[in-house]
Amino acid sequence: MKISCIPRDTTGTSTAKRLRQNDFIPGVIYGRGIEPENISVSKKEIERILRKFGENAILDLTLRDKSYHAMVKDVHHDYVKDQLLHIDFYKVSKTQKIHVSVPIHLVNSEHIQKDGALVHQLDEVEIECTADNIPKNIDLDVSELKVGHGITVAELVVDDSITILSNADDTIVSLSPHRTEADEEAELEAAEGQVSAEPVVVGSEEDTEEQ
């Protein structure tokens, strides 16, 4: 995926605001062998790339008649206004091994047992792979999940070229039994049956007598 960058000679809040008003996003490119350089990129182009490839996209950046392979390293958002504020690119070799976080995408959740509630406990995993082989996400089929059971990181299926770095014992998703009215009533009765000792107020007669 190719994208053209424009050198940015000035920085600061007013410059960034003016760029965004003209449908550009301020950013920076850095990495081994190059000096960090301030840039700006088309807002429409980068939003399209992020939607299609996610935030681990590897791009061919063109800057001052030079081309760089670069990954999206960090994206700064204003979630209140729903807009991009700034984007960082990191120069990489396509064959360079890197560590990235990849989202876990649950599939076939509509086929799980109806007497259970799906609890998604882990949204992403850390992996190691070459820069040209980063998946947008890792699919996890939950259709065979039984009530009272879970699926751990160790059960993820990935390509042989990908190494999962996250703890293998971490639970990604589990299927818990639905809470019933009887369960809630039993918990309420148990809570009401517990008698707590009344606290002694400092400075009270009881406190004075003990001293």
pLDDT tens digits, one per residue of 118-168: 999 999 999 999 988 888 899 999 999 999 999 999 999 999 999 999 999
Residue 81: band (very low, low, confident or very high) from pLDDT cuts 50, 70, 90: confident
pLDDT at 126: 96
Q: What is the structure's pLDDT at 50?
A: 85
* pLDDT tens string 158-198: 999 999 999 999 999 999 987 655 555 666 666 666 655 45
DSSP characters over the chain: -EEE-EE----SHHHHHHHHHTTEEEEEEEETTEEEEEEEEEHHHHHHHHHHH-TT-EEEEEETTEEEEEEEEEEEEETTTTEEEEEEEEE--TT-EEEEEEEEEEE-GGGS-TTEEEEE---EEEEEEEGGG--S-EEEE-TTPPTT-EEEGGG----TT-EE-S-TT-EEEEEEEPP-HHHHHHHHHHHHT--PPPPPPTTSHHHHHH-
Is the model more confident about 83 or about 100? Answer: 100
Say which CATH superfamily domain 99-185 falls into: Ribosomal protein L25, C-terminal domain (2.170.120.20)
In CATH, the architecture of 2-92 is Beta Barrel (2.40)
Dihedral pair phi/psi, residue 106, rounded to 5°: -80, 130
Predicted TM-score (pTM) of the model is 0.68
Q: Do domains 2-92 and 99-185 have the same CATH topology?
A: no
Write down the domain spans for the chain.
2-92, 99-185
Please name the residue that has the structure tokens 């600061």: 12
pLDDT tens digits, 11-63: 778 878 888 888 888 999 998 888 899 999 998 998 888 888 888 888 888 88
